[in-house]
Amino acid sequence: MEKHPVTVIVMATMMEAKPFVLGMALEEKQKQPFRLFGKDTLVLAVSGIGKANAAMATAWCCERFTPVCVFNLGAAGASGPSHALGEIFHISRIVEYDRPRLITGEPTVHRPRVLDGFPTATLSTSDRAILDPEERRAVSRIADLIDMEGAAVVQACDLFDTSCCVFKFISDTPVHTEDEDVITNIRRYRTPFFEFFRRAVLSTSAGV
């Protein structure tokens, strides 16, 4: 499992990761401190929800495996009405909506690696789920999508001088205001997202 070069995937929940584990026949390697799956030179870590969990899991994987690339994958909400459920975007810029800089008050910005040939979007990462339509509207001024992990994964990778790419699929829009809506949509679109990643990203030399 520790054979190099290793590619690491970091996902927040097992619900999102299930098609990846089954579709790539990944074997469970450990349960603590993070649930870890792997096969050959591919490792998938289920970090848990939120920036702290994502940062710790990413740093742990970078330290242990020295990966050539870390992919942060999973669901994200659309900040406005222009994006549809199930759409997939490659994240080119991430802002931390809830972590303004001390002097300027502007959100902290992170820039993951961007691969050619994919539609891109700006992501806002915060430690709290944003489902209220008014809050989404405020975020839409600075970002297309909203999640709770992306910025932390990129920041941890930067500390380890490790390439990081982020892909997200839309699990909710401003009309989806309940947690149950998000869960239903994740289950609906997680398999097409996996199939896209395996076909269009992981199988290409550009992906690593």
Q: pLDDT tens digits for 93-141? A: 999 977 766 677 677 899 999 999 999 999 999 988 888 888 889 899 9
pLDDT of residue 118: 97
Tell me what pLDDT residue 123 has. Answer: 97
Q: Which two tokens stand for residue 5?
A: 């070069």
pLDDT at 177: 80
Q: What's the pLDDT at 2?
A: 46
Please tell me the predicted confidence (pLDDT) of residue 128.
87
The C-alpha atoms of residue 28 and residue 2 are separated, in whole angstroms, by 14
- Cβ atoms of 161 and 202 within 8 Å: the answer is no
Nearest 5°: phi and psi at 190?
-65, -35
Domain ranges of the chain: 7-197
Instruction: Kindly give the interhelix angle for 150-159 and 51-65, rounded to the nearest 10 degrees.
Output: 30
- Ranges of the chain with pLDDT below 70: 1-4, 100-102, 105, 205-208
pLDDT score at 1: 42
Give the per-residue pLDDT at 203: 79
Give dist(CA 19, CA 59) in Å, integer.
24
Neighbours of 198 (CB within 10 A): 15
Q: Among 3.30.70.1140, 3.30.420.40, 3.40.50.1580, 3.30.390.50, what is the CATH number of 7-197? A: 3.40.50.1580
Secondary structure of the chain as H, E, C letters: CCCCCCEEEEECCHHHHHHHHHHCCCEEEECCCCEEEEECCEEEEECCCCHHHHHHHHHHHHHHHCCCEEEEEEEEEECCCCCCCCCEEEEEEEEEEEEECCCCCCEEEECCCCCCCCCEEEEEECCCCCCCHHHHHHHCCCCCEEECCHHHHHHHHHHCCCCEEEEEEEEECCCCCCHHHHHHHHHHHHHHHHHHHHHHHHCCHHHC
Which pLDDT score, from 0 to 100, does residue 49 have? Answer: 97
pLDDT of residue 208: 55
